Every structure is written in C-alpha cells, then in structure tokens.
Chain A
Amino acid sequence: MSESISDVMMVVGLLFDLMGTIGLVRLPDVYNRLQAATKCVTLGTCLILVGLLVRNGFDALGVKALLCALFVLLTSPVGAHAIARGAHISGVLLWEKSVCDAYLADRTKERSGEADAQTKNA
C-alpha cells in the first residue's frame, strides 16, 4: 500500500520536474521562466523526497528525506525572489506584452521618497 502511494508521488513529482523545465525553455522572459520553473521544480523535488519518506517510514533515510524536503521548500522561493529582485535592479526588461510592472512603480516611489528626505535634511 505505502509502496504504491510512494510510486504515485514520485511519478507525479517527476512529471512536475519535467513540466517546470519545459516552462524554463518555452516561456518568453526571465520573470515568466522564473515563476514556472521555480514553483514546479520545487514541488516536484519535494514530492520525490516525501515519496521516499512514505516508502521507508521514519527511519534514518526517511527522516533525512523529510528534512531535505522542508529545506528545499524553505530556501527555493527565497532564492527565486532574490534572483527576480536582482534581475529587475540590473535592468532586465519585461516581455513586451507584459501589462503591469508594480515593482518598478514601488522603486520609483521609494526613490522619490529618499529624494524628499534628502531635501528636507538639506
């Protein structure tokens, strides 16, 4: 029973991995690629690791697999956020059909706020 559940989880996780990397190749700009690839591949790898836990139970291998899954689940979105922020600050443009860039508006607002503070101090 637990073996078949684990098989299903691992196959679903592998398909998520494959879909994520297909998105990485097919989508038009950095930000689209980032969100497709990061979410799919994070979930896929976590499913593979949790499938390992389900198959083995809570022995040394299973607990370490759970630990690794939690670690990937915590760190991968942080890394993706850092890359998106770095890409935006380094000036990579959005796809020409994108409709909204809220972070650019926030950054210009922040910058004008800093300028106001500097003029007040002067």
Chain B
Amino acid sequence: MSLIAFAMWVLVIASFLCLYRIGKGPTPPDRIVSIDILGTLIVGFCAVLALATGQDFYINVAIAWALLSFIGTLALAKYLEGRAFHE
C-alpha cells in the first residue's frame, strides 16, 4: 500500500471516530471538542492532498481552514460559558 493510500485510510477512520463522538454526545462540550479535532484532521487531509497532487494551493486551503476552525472553536467556547464577548 502506498503512503498516500495509507494516509487517506487512517484519516478517514479517524474522522469517522470523531463523527461517532459528535453523534453520541453526551454533553455539548463533547461535540465541540470533536468538531475542533475534526478541523485539525482536515488540515492533515489537505497536507496529504498537497503531497498527492503536487499542487500547493491545498496548503492555502489548510491555512484558511485552521484559522476558521480556531475562530469557530473560540466562538463555541464563549457560547458555552454563556457570556458576551467583551466580558
């Protein structure tokens, strides 16, 4: 099995484990953690795609995805605290 195929299989299995935790719960923070981890896994996916195709715009997608995932995680964490952003 080539490295690309191995990497894809491992990342797909890891993503499905994350999706299992998103579905099962049981509390909202569990789901938020899983969404955060899924975002980081997708950055890994983009790196593997950049290696597979040799095109460097996949890395730009990875940088943008990491940034947006971070902002989303912070917003969801503040929502969990039940406060406004200026506090």
- State the B residues within 8 Å of A (CB): 3, 6-7, 10-11, 13-15, 17-18, 20-21, 27-30, 32-34, 36-37, 40-41, 43-44, 47-48, 50-51, 56, 59-60, 62-63, 66-67, 69-70, 73-74, 76-82
Contact = CB atoms under 8 A, between A and B. Distances in A.
Given A24-B18, A41-B41, A18 B70 contact: no
A68 B73 contact: no
Contact of A86 (B18, B69, B78): B78
Chain A: interface secondary structure?
helix
Nearest to B43: A45
Contacts of B66: 68, 71-72, 75
Contacts of B17: 21-22, 24-25
Given A49-B47, A86-B81, A20 B37 contact: yes
A48 B47 contact: yes
Give chain A's interface residue range (CB within 8 Å of chain B): 35 or more
Given A24-B18, A30-B30, A52-B51, A38 B36 contact: yes
